[in-house]
Amino acid sequence: MDDGQAVYTSGFIVIQGRKTMSSNVIKIGQLSINYIADGSGTGSLGLFELTVPPGSNVPPPHSHSNNEECVYVLEGVLRYTVGSETRDLSVGQSMSTPKGVVHAFSNPFPETARALIVNSPDIGAQYFKDVATVLNAGGAPDKGALIAVMSRYGLVPAAPGGPAAFSRG
């Protein structure tokens, strides 16, 4: 069996050949990222659970130069914008972001939202750890350092006032 191949057994998907990190939760402000499968080392897909409390600060609208992203809501409602389309996704609903398209999310609702995020190819858990280092440092965020981290991983901040321009739920 090749590394990174999915095996289906008894209704479960077992991902082989990937570093699993389910006990390693990354906190960025109020957001939590629980990486399930980090495919960044092999150029394969990645999978993580994102928890977004109501009114959380969220990443600025951005696009990915190198990967596609899909969000699938597990709990609550997540507002998700791709290009000019904004939808309030509830449990069991999903939305995909093609490579190069500006997207953003927020949670302006009273309940915590949880979503499963798939990136292909994966951006990797290290990206979120690097962002956490910048944003969890205390004080006002260093926007230059954040943009440098984003650029290093192929993320491009949207132009101010462009599509999906918001940063708080």
How do the domains of the chain map onto residue ranges?
A: 19-157
Check if the beta carbon of residue 103 is closer than 8 Å to that of residue 162: no
Class of domain 19-157: mainly beta
The pLDDT value recorded for residue 156 is: 95
- State phi, psi for 125 to the nearest 5 degrees: -65, -30
The pLDDT value recorded for residue 161 is: 60
Residue type present at position 167? S
The string over 131-167, giving b where at least 16 C-beta atoms fall within 10 Å of a residue's C-beta and e elsewhere, is bbebbeeeeeeeeeebbebbeebebebbeeeebbeee
The pLDDT value recorded for residue 139 is: 87
Copy the structure tokens of residue 106.
Answer: 């927020």
- State phi, psi for 126 to the nearest 5 degrees: -60, -35
Pairwise CA distance, residues 43 & 139, whole Å: 35
The pLDDT value recorded for residue 111 is: 97
H or E element: which one contains 120?
strand 113-120
In tens digits, the chain (169 residues) has pLDDT values of: 344 444 444 444 444 444 444 457 999 999 999 999 999 999 999 999 999 999 999 998 999 999 999 999 999 999 999 999 999 999 999 999 999 999 999 999 999 999 999 999 999 999 999 999 999 998 888 999 999 999 999 999 998 765 443 333 4
